[in-house]
Amino acid sequence: MKIGLISDTHGFFTQEFKDFLEPVDQLWHAGDFGGDIDFVDSIASFKPLVAVYGNCDGQDIRRSYPLVQYFDCEGLKVLMTHIGGYPNKYDIKARALIERYRPDIFVCGHSHILKVMRDDYFNMMTINPGACGYQGWQIYRTALRFDINDKKLENLELFKIER
């Protein structure tokens, strides 16, 4: 299965990102959609969507998407929440979720900082795709795509464009 991963769109999902993500089978969004539920629906109409809400999302989005997603993808356990952190610096709530679920892949957003790191302590990959939107201080807008086959994350690709 080919996965596209974005976060922190803050109301923007531009054509360059759609072009990069066109080959994916499923799109994951790690929160802070921005905009309203119509904006989210436009993303969901592009590709099948698995998502969580972020701290900037309104009640309409929070009613439609949860704070935490825990699911199986091709034999890998995936845990996704907006505010997460990274190895040795996890948010306290995210760490409790990680300890509870013991995922193979932990996905978060919020920081606008692209990070893909192996966490040997929890034996998982930690992935933050950075920010897809314009809001924030980041120099680049970013997205990821990768394959999950036979319980392996493979062929990780980065898309980045200057703001």
pLDDT per residue over 76-135, tens digit each? 999 999 999 999 999 999 999 999 999 999 999 999 999 999 999 999 999 999 999 998
What pairs with residue 130 in β-bridges? none
The whole-chain average pLDDT of the chain stands at: 96
CB 156 within 8 A of CB 128: no
pTM of the model: 0.97
Query: Closest by alpha carbon to 78, among 124, 123, 129?
Result: 124
pLDDT tens for residues 54-69?
Answer: 999 999 999 999 999 9
Percent of the chain surpassing pLDDT 70: 100
Span 9-19, average pLDDT: 97
b/e per residue 141-162 (b: at least 16 CB within 10 A): bbbbbbbbeeeebeeeeebeee
Give how far Cα 66 sits from Cα of 21, 50, 89, 150, Å. Answer: 23, 10, 23, 28
C-alpha triplet 113, 118, 121: angle, nearest 5°: 120
